[in-house]
Amino acid sequence: MAAVVEVEVGAGAAGERELDEVDMSELSPEEQWKIEHARMHAKHRGHEAMHAEMVLILIATLVVAQLLLVQWKQRHPRSYNMVTLFQMWVVPLYFTVKLHWWRFLVIWILFSAVTAFVTFRATRKPLVQTTPRLVYKWFLLIYKISYATGIVGYMAVMFTLFGLNLLFKIKPEDAMDFGISLLFYGLYYGVLERDFAEMCADYMASTIGFYSESGMPTKHLSDSVCAVCGQQIFVDVSEEGIIENTYRLSCNHVFHEFCIRGWCIVGKKQTCPYCKEKVDLKRMFSNPWERPHVMYGQLLDWLRRFPHFSILYWLGNGSFIEHLPGRLWEGNTRREYRGKWTQLWRPLVLEELSPTLQDTNFSCVFMDPGQTVQRHLVLAQLWAGPKTSVPLPQEAPPSSQSPLLHHPDGEPELHRHLVETPPLY
């Protein structure tokens, strides 16, 4: 049976003073994070109405901002693409440094360094003959890595939802964090590299002269020249190439197969680089194993339509059990039959609490799916104690001001009270 959990942390002025007096330098990073988490809840206790208003304002702002951005994209697409690409690239750097996500920072620096070099080469005039292939090779590599990373992350999330992580003795929260992280890395860098690839493809094609974003090309395309890279084509369309094949579009223009695939998949172009006739991607990628690449590219294009994508990070807050400042373990479930109802009692014992967090209150609310029964359970005067068990009470505390349930030796115990449907006899 599912339960809706709402957690409120704080102990009034006394509890806040106790948290403020904690010497953070003597604690581990995990304990420091837990204390900051408790301080945040204590600071915002009683602000539920204000928080609801803030959420409504945020939703309204996002809707209005999205409408304005759509108009901007339709009227000035070039400036829109440049500005949103810049914010997608730079905004994560601020959060990375602020939140100390060093793994993301290292990957971001490596990606940015190589991409900056490739972009620099692609925007030079005159264009070096080997630059187009260098650009498409780099961005195609990132595209494939992001595709594989996203697939592995998605599979990890699905395996966790089906409980397969337990076969490898992996905690659900660890498996879910791993899957969500990989999924985020795959989607984020997939969207980012396609934008950079599109920009580089436009610059290179315009420099070569066979492509113009608006208007007629500045050069005439010969049948033996590839309009994407500007190099000679030595293999006929009907011949099997040793290194690379030649591909002819429906408009009869001929290209290196690698170049036209990079132009369409990586560069987000679905038109001929010379005459701008629409390219039939289904005909080009007739192999069933290649079509997922096209669908993945369409997914990235869909995500790109939402500029807010770059700031939607998985913060991994987890459940309240993970964030209690101690170690929580669950006891055995006990059933109590009361007339037509069955009550479930499950002890949650908090132990190994840091001594610096004594006199901290945790107020938890558990509700049944019909929200007809509500119980407020309070933990106070928390400290580490022996691992012992005590008989469970027969009645749940009536309100959030109820007295604390204690072990005889002083260890607090939290009981989960849920209402279940009557048993069938």
Kindly list the domain boundaries of the chain, sorted by start residue.
1-15+324-387+396-425, 80-317
pLDDT of 93 > 80? The answer is yes
Angle at 40 between CA 39 and CA 41, to 5 degrees: 95
Helices 102-122 and 131-161, interaxial angle, to 10°?
150
pTM of structure: 0.55
Q: What are 256's strand-pairing partners?
A: 246
Phi and psi at 117, nearest 5°, equal -65, -45
CB-based contacts of 363, cutoff 8 Å, min separation 6: 7, 8, 9, 10, 376, 377, 378, 379, 400
| Burial label, 34 (beta-carbon count in 10 A; 0-12, 13-18, 19+) | buried
* pLDDT at residue 291, rounded to an integer: 57
Residue type, 223: D
pLDDT digits (tens, 9 = 90+) for 179-236: 999 988 988 898 888 888 888 887 887 787 766 666 666 677 777 788 777 778 877 7
Under a CB-based contact definition with an 8 Å cutoff, are residues 330 and 341 in contact?
no
**Short-list 252, 244, 297, CA closest to 270:** 297
What distances in angstroms separate CA 262 from CA 144, 189, 198, 229, one per listed residue? Answer: 12, 17, 10, 11
| Burial label, 203 (beta-carbon count in 10 A; 0-12, 13-18, 19+) | middle
pLDDT digits (tens, 9 = 90+) for 379-401: 333 333 333 333 444 444 433 33
| Burial label, 411 (beta-carbon count in 10 A; 0-12, 13-18, 19+) | buried
**Short-list 202, 81, 93, 195, CA closest to 142:** 195
**Short-list 310, 309, 304, 294, CA closest to 77:** 304
pLDDT of 72 > 80? The answer is yes
Query: d(Cα 402, Cα 387) in Å, to the nearest integer?
Result: 24
**3 state DSSP class of 73:** helix
Looking at residues 92-111, what average pLDDT do you find?
A: 88
Query: d(Cα 155, Cα 173) in Å, to the nearest integer?
Result: 15
- Of the chain, the percentage scoring pLDDT greater than 90 comes to 7
pLDDT of 104 > 60? The answer is yes
Tokens of 135: 């650009």
Query: d(Cα 16, Cα 147) in Å, to the nearest integer?
Result: 47
**3 state DSSP class of 199:** helix
Q: What are 415's strand-pairing partners?
A: 347
Q: How confident is the model at residue 423 (pLDDT cuts 50, 70, 90)?
A: very low
Looking at residues 315-326, what average pLDDT do you find?
A: 38
